[in-house]
Amino acid sequence: MRTVDPVRVGILIDYVAETATPAALIQSVFAFVARELREQGVLERDVEFVTEAVKGLPEGSFRAVRDAYYRLVDAGCVAAFGPYISENGAPLREDVENLAEVPILTVAGTETMLGEWVFGLPAGSMEEEPIIMAQVAWYDGCRSAGLVYEDSLIGHEYLRSARAACAALGIRVTGEVAVMQVEQEKRAAMAQLAEHKPDAILHVGFGLGLLGINKALAELGWMPRRYTTTAFEMASGNAMWRNEIAGWIGLDQYDERNEVARDFFKRYNAATGSTEVYYLPALWYDVGRMLLTAVATARPLTGRGVKEALERIKMMPAATGAPGTRMRFGKFIRHGWVGSEFLVARRVLDDASAIVMHGTIEGLVPPAG
C-alpha cells in the first residue's frame, strides 16, 4: 500500500515566558481539530505540526522571529500560525508578503500586520478595545479617566484609539502617563495621575506594564475604577496575575453563554482529560479550525492554495466571544471576526478569588454619536 506524506503546518511561538510556553496547548488543540476533521472526512491527510518557539519582542529580538518563519518555510509548511505579538508581526509582514509563498494566521491585534498573505483572528484589537473599554467605563458612571499606556508600538496605537474613544463619549482625560513594557516601579506614574483624581484609570498595552499598579495605588491610598485591554486574559489560570490585577475590569474572549465554546470544552476535555475552561483553548480551537479547514480545502495543496482557501471560508460559528460570533475571510477581508462581541468585559474580584462577567450600572444610556 502506498504511503501518503502528512501535510506540514507551522506553529511560530514568539513569546516564551520564564515558566512555560503555550506550544503544548496549541499543539494539543490543533491536533484535536485535525482528528475531528479527519473523522468528519473533511481532512484527507494527516497533519504534522512543526513548531518554532523563540524569544521575540518585547523581551527578545525580531530577528529570532524572522529566522523562525524562514525555517518553517524551508521545512515545507504550507501555512503557519503565528507570530502573535504585534511588535513581531508588524515587521514580519514585509517578509511574508515579499516571499509570497506561505500564508500566516495571527492573533496579533495590530492591523498594520494584515496583508495579502497575512490573516488575523486578533486576540483583541488596538482600534476596537479602547472603544469597548470606554463604553464599559461610561456605563459604570465614569466621566473622567487617566490613561496609562505602555511605551511601545501597540501602546501608542492603543493610546491614539483610547483618546478618540474617550472624546466620543465625553469622558474627560485628566492625564496620560507612559510606562515601560517591562516590569518597573509604578508609584511616580500613579502619583501623577492621582493629582487630578479621575473616576477611572484606563491601561492600554501588551500587559507587562500592569505589574505593580495596584501596589502603587494602595501606597497612595487611591483606588479608582481600573480598566484594561485583553492583557486582562493573563489572569486566566494564573494566580500571580489575578493578584496583580485584583479589582480590575478587562476584556476577555471567553463567554460561558457561547454554546459553541461549551460543546468544544465538553468534547476536548473528555478527549484529553483537561479540566480547564477559559479563553485560550477556545481561541486555539477557532484558529485551528480556520487554518486546517483551509489546508483541507486547498486546491492545489500549496501555500497559495491555502491562502485562497482561507479567503473562501465564510460564517463559521466561533467558540470565541459572545453567542453568535462567527468567522470569515475574503479576498479583501483579513480581519476574521464577525460580530460586535468577540470581546466581552470581565472582572477579577477584589480578593482575586475568581473572574466573573462584569455587570454595568442599569439605566444609563451613552450619549448620541
As given in the structure block, the three cell numbers for residue 102 are 506561505
Check residue 18 and give its pLDDT: 55
367 pLDDT tier (thresholds 50, 70, 90): very low
Summarised one tens digit per residue, pLDDT across range 259-283 is 999 999 999 999 999 999 999 999 9
Summarised one tens digit per residue, pLDDT across range 118-153 is 999 998 888 899 999 999 999 999 999 999 999 988
Lookup result for grid cell 466621566 = 143
Burial class of 362 by CB neighbour count within 10 A (0 to 12, 13 to 18, 19+): exposed
Full set of structural domains in the chain with CATH: 7-123+256-338 (3.40.50.2300), 129-253+344-357 (3.40.50.2300)
Check residue 90 and give its pLDDT: 93
Summarised one tens digit per residue, pLDDT across range 161-185 is 999 999 999 999 999 999 987 667 8
Contact, 343 vs 128, CB < 8 A?
yes
- Give mean pLDDT, residues 30-41: 97
Contact, 25 vs 281, CB < 8 A?
yes
pLDDT at 204 over 90: yes
Check residue 183 and give its pLDDT: 62
Going by C-alpha positions, the residue among 55, 57, 63 that lies closest to residue 86 is 57
Write down how long the chain is.
369
H helices present in the chain, as ranges: 23-39, 62-74, 86-99, 129-139, 153-169, 187-194, 213-220, 239-244, 259-272, 279-297, 303-312
Q: Output the pTM of the full model.
A: 0.89
